[in-house]
A = this chain, B = another copy of it.
Amino acid sequence: MNATMHDVARVAGVSIKTVSNVINDYPHVRSATRDRVLTAIKELGYQPNLSARGLRSGKTGVIGLAIPSVREAYFAELADSIIRAAEKRGLGVVVDQTNQVRQHELDVVAGRRLRLTDGIVFSPVTIDESDAALLNVPFPLVILGESIFGGPTDHVTMHNVSSAKAAVEHLLSLGRRRIAVIGADDDEEANAFGSATLRVRGYHQALQAAGIPADPALVRPAGLWHHDTGAAATRSLIASGIPFDGLFALNDSLAIGALRALGEAGVRVPGDVAVIGFDNIDGTKYSIPSLSSVDPGREEIAEIAVEMLVERIGEKGERMPPRRIKPDFRIVGRESTGFPYVADVTDTDGIDESAAVPATA
């Protein structure tokens, strides 16, 4: 079986306490003693038992990430960023997929999932303002993606309204006047603080500011935000015969589906219809045409979320007031709104050479 601290202590000829001191970098250990312990550790292939450490210390070194699905490009990229941010701090990440199911999301905030974790980063879909009370949880929790007004927890959210407004203004700046939206909520019951509602609000604000009357027929629901629903919503829009010269997809998956549907119908992009999405996922650079998008600052969101969670987990975490942070966003212009294509070098370092459009924040 695996070696324990006792084994190490015996081999090194010291007590278990000394072994513990060495492992935890306790300063007051004579270096000769330390060396003997380290040698014994290597010799035995000793590795601390994390369950025991967790039991004793109350910490596991693992955080939870609850998202709708890793399969969706935006969340895959978010998970990647969260995992990297956690790893920098020596933390593991266990991923829980809620599939946008409310009961599942309720289980997350009730602590009925992700139980071997020190805290949770949670990107909810069905939890909204009316659930603020539920968020008063006895474990460290950071909410992502939308702001629950008055909620008791830390939030890292995005400028949903103003960035959507900027996206639409980008289309307006190209002279487009009949701008459609796909991905709106299906019904009035929808989460009033959900991304869809907020982004549609930004859309309306942009139109209003430009003095363009809103046409409800241009605002289309799409169910889940996938390629297929985006394509279906766009086909329905085209079939309706309502003219439009701009299209704002509430996320990039929808937009890529829309490009497909527009292409099938012989609608030229951006000639006939200029298209912009939201999230700036990797795939935006390789669609045909490449897709303009809103970059919500995913990397920064992940970094801040993990940092906040780590602070909460720490000593004084209990006593901090809830914080709310919104990273900056930017509009990224690509071919679908008339910008030239930029082939990027393998951007392992995350450098994005696409055109950045000055954005009103």
Using CB atoms and an 8 Å cutoff, list the residues of chain A in contact with chain B: 2, 47, 49-52, 54-55, 60-62, 69-71, 73, 76-77, 79-80, 83-84, 87, 92-97, 111-112, 114-116, 138, 223-224, 226-229, 231-232, 235, 256-257, 259-260, 263-264, 282-283, 285-288, 290, 341, 343-348
For A231, list chain B residues within 8 Å (CB). Answer: 286, 343
Q: How far is the CA of A47 from the CA of B282 in the complex (A)?
A: 41
Contact A223 B95 (CB under 8 A): no
Contact B50 A346 (CB under 8 A): no
Contact B111 A346 (CB under 8 A): no
Find A116's partner among B76, B112, B116, B285 (CB 8 Å cutoff).
B116
For A259, list chain B residues within 8 Å (CB). Answer: 288
Contact B69 A80 (CB under 8 A): yes
Contact B84 A77 (CB under 8 A): no
Contact B228 A116 (CB under 8 A): no
Q: How far is the CA of A235 from the CA of B343 in the complex (A)?
A: 11
For A347, list chain B residues within 8 Å (CB). Answer: 228
For A54, list chain B residues within 8 Å (CB). Answer: 51, 54-55, 116
For A263, list chain B residues within 8 Å (CB). Answer: 288
Contact A343 B92 (CB under 8 A): no
Identify the interface centre among A77, A94, A231, A348: most chain B CB within 10 Å of its CB. A94
Q: How far is the CA of A342 from the CA of B286 in the complex (A)?
A: 21
Find A71's partner among B77, B94, B226, B287 (CB 8 Å cutoff).
B77
Contact A283 B283 (CB under 8 A): yes
- Identify the 4 closest CB pairs spanning chains A and B, nearest first: A51-B54, A76-B76, A227-B286, A71-B80
In the complex, how many angstroms separate the beta carbon of A95 from the nearest chain B beta carbon?
5
User: Which chain B residue lies CB-closest to A50?
Assistant: B116
In the complex, how many angstroms separate the beta carbon of A273 from the nearest chain B beta carbon?
15
Identify the interface centre among A232, A263, A343, A347: most chain B CB within 10 Å of its CB. A343
For A345, list chain B residues within 8 Å (CB). Answer: 228
The 10 sampled A-B contact pairs (Cβ below 8 Å) are: A2-B138, A51-B116, A71-B79, A80-B97, A83-B95, A227-B286, A228-B345, A256-B286, A259-B288, A260-B290
Q: How far is the CA of A218 from the CA of B62 in the complex (A)?
A: 47
For A70, list chain B residues within 8 Å (CB). Answer: 70, 76, 79-80, 83
Q: How far is the CA of A70 from the CA of B282 in the complex (A)?
A: 13
User: Which chain B residue lies CB-closest to A229?
Assistant: B346
Contact B341 A264 (CB under 8 A): yes
Task: Contacts A50-B116, A54-B54, A62-B116 known; list 8 others, CB within 8 Å.
Answer: A47-B112, A52-B55, A60-B116, A70-B70, A73-B76, A94-B94, A228-B344, A229-B346
